[in-house]
Structure 1
Amino acid sequence: MAVSVILKTLNEEARIGAAIESVLAALDGIGGEVIVADGGSRDRTLAVATSYPIQVVQLEPTIRPSCGIGPQLGFQYSREPFICLMDGDMLLDPGFLPEALAYLSTHPRAAGVTGHVEEMNDTSLEYVRRGRRVSPENRIGTIDRMNGGGLYRREAVEQAGYLSDRNLHGYEEFDLGLRLRAQGWTLHRLDRRFVRHFGHAINAYALLLRRWKSGYLRGIGEVLRAALGKPQWPRLVEELPELKLWGVVYFWLAAMVALPFVLPSPVIALAIDLALIVGIVGVMSLRQKSLSLGLYAVVAWLFHAAALPLGFIQARKAPGAWIESRVVNEGS
Structure 2
Amino acid sequence: MTISELADHDGDAAPQLSVVIIAYNEEDRIRECIESVFDACRDVDGFEVILVDSNSTDRTVEYATEYPITVLRIPSDDLTTPSAGRYVGTHVASAERILFVDGDMELTETWLPEAMAYLAAHDDVAAVEGCLNNSTQTGISEADKLGGAMLSDAEALDEIGGFDPYLRSNEDIDVGFRLRAAGYRLVRLPEVSVIHPEDDTISEPIRRWGHGYYIGQGQILRSRLDSPTILRWQLRRQRYKLGLLAWLSAGVVSLFVAPLLLLWTLLSLLGFGIVASRRGVMRSVTILTAKTLGIAGLFIGLTRPIPPAEEYPLSAVEVVATGRTLAGPARNGEGTGDEDGSPEGETTAGDEKYAAGNRDDDAGKSVDN
Please indicate the TM-score interval, normalised by the length of the shorter structure: 0.7 to 0.9
Partners of 1:67 and 1:216 within 8 A in 2:
no
SS at match of 1:51: coil
* Bigger Rg over Cα: 2
Deviates more, 1:41-50 or 1:294-303: 294-303
Deviates more, 1:290-299 or 1:16-25: 290-299
Partners of 2:69 and 2:323 within 8 A in 1:
yes
In structure 1, what is the equivalent of residue 172 of structure 2? 173
Structure 1 residues 79 and 62, CA, compared in 2 at 3 Å: closer, same or farther? same
SS at match of 2:57: coil
Residue 276 of structure 1: CA displacement? 3.5
In structure 1, what is the equivalent of residue 320 of structure 2? 328
Partners of 1:112 and 1:150 within 8 A in 2:
yes
Partners of 1:116 and 1:138 within 8 A in 2:
no
Q: Which runs of 5+ in 2 are unaligned?
A: 1-14, 325-369
Amino acid at match of 1:4: S
Alignment of 1:271 onto 2:286: no
Query: Which of 46, 52, 57 matches 2:61?
Result: 46
Structure 1 residues 248 and 26, CA, compared in 2 at 3 Å: closer, same or farther? closer
Residue 100 of structure 1: CA displacement? 1.2
Structure 1 residues 270 and 25, CA, compared in 2 at 3 Å: closer, same or farther? same
In structure 2, what is the equivalent of residue 143 of structure 1? 143
Amino acid at match of 2:157: V
Q: Structure 1 length as normaliser, TM-score?
A: 0.85
In structure 2, what is the equivalent of residue 128 of structure 1? none
Structure 1 residues 75 and 55, CA, compared in 2 at 3 Å: closer, same or farther? same
In structure 2, what is the equivalent of residue 82 of structure 1? 97
In structure 2, what is the equivalent of residue 294 of structure 1? 284
Structure 1 residues 139 and 146, CA, compared in 2 at 3 Å: closer, same or farther? farther
Amino acid at match of 1:294: S
Partners of 1:114 and 1:188 within 8 A in 2:
yes
Structure 1 residues 73 and 282, CA, compared in 2 at 3 Å: closer, same or farther? same
In structure 2, what is the equivalent of residue 187 of structure 1? 186
Spell out structure 1 runs of 4+ moving beyond 6 A: none
Residue 245 of structure 1: CA displacement? 2.0
In structure 1, what is the equivalent of residue 205 of structure 2? 208
Amino acid at match of 2:16: A
Report percent identity of matched pairs. 31
1:240-270 CA-to-partner distances (Å, cap 9, x unmatched) read 4343222222221222112232x2xx5x455
In structure 2, what is the equivalent of residue 2 of structure 1? 16
Q: Distance in 1 between matches of 2:138 and 2:157?
A: 23
1:202-245 CA-to-partner distances (Å, cap 9, x unmatched) read x621111111111111221111112111x3x3343246434322
In structure 2, what is the equivalent of residue 228 of structure 1? 225
In structure 2, what is the equivalent of residue 122 of structure 1? none
Amino acid at match of 2:84: I
Q: Distance in 1 between matches of 2:183 and 2:261?
A: 52
Structure 1 residues 95 and 260, CA, compared in 2 at 3 Å: closer, same or farther? closer
Amino acid at match of 2:323: G
Amino acid at match of 1:249: L
Deviates more, 1:80-89 or 1:56-65: 56-65
Query: Which of 236, 245, 248 matches 1:241?
Result: 236
Q: Which runs of 5+ in 1 are unaligned?
A: 120-130
Structure 1 residues 139 and 10, CA, compared in 2 at 3 Å: closer, same or farther? farther
Partners of 1:91 and 1:197 within 8 A in 2:
yes
1:293-316 CA-to-partner distances (Å, cap 9, x unmatched) read 333322322111121100111231
Query: How large is the Cα RMSD of the aligned pairs?
Result: 2.4
Amino acid at match of 2:174: D
In structure 2, what is the equivalent of residue 35 of structure 1? 50
Q: Structure 2 length as normaliser, TM-score?
A: 0.77
Partners of 1:8 and 1:37 within 8 A in 2:
yes
Structure 1 residues 183 and 22, CA, compared in 2 at 3 Å: closer, same or farther? same
Amino acid at match of 1:157: L
